[in-house]
């Protein structure tokens, strides 16, 4: 959890289904604790080295926007 709070995202592979990858970013309460997360998952081949940074950026933006409504 501390790593997720520090880097503001996490990338997972094969966690639920084989050959899948996911990206998640935390949503924070005003006190800094994690309230939840927003994520995207799909076939591993779609999360290639070119698209993965874009997915991370978009998920982080969505999480920041949701966090702003909580604060």
What are the backbone dihedrals phi and psi of residue 15, each rounded to the nearest 5 degrees, phi first? -75, -40
**Residue 7 confidence (pLDDT):** 83
Global confidence as pTM: 0.85
Strand order from edge to edge, sheet including 10-13: 10-13, 20-28, 34-43
Number of structural domains found in the chain: 1
Given pLDDT bands bounded at 50, 70 and 90, which one contains residue 24?
Answer: very high
Domain range enclosing 54: 2-70
Nearest C-alpha neighbor of 16 from the set 44, 46, 54, 56: 44
* Residue 55 exposed, middle or buried by CB count within 10 Å (0-12, 13-18, 19+): buried
CATH number of the structural domain spanning residue 36: 3.30.450.40
């Amino acid at each position: 959890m501390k790593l997720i709070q520090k880097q503001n995202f996490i990338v997972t592979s094969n966690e639920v289904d084989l050959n899948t990858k996911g990206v998640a970013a935390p949503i924070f309460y005003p006190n800094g604790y994690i309230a939840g997360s927003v994520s995207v998952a799909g076939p591993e081949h779609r999360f290639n080295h070119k698209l993965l940074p874009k997915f991370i950026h978009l998920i982080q933006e969505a999480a920041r926007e949701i966090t702003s409504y909580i604060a």
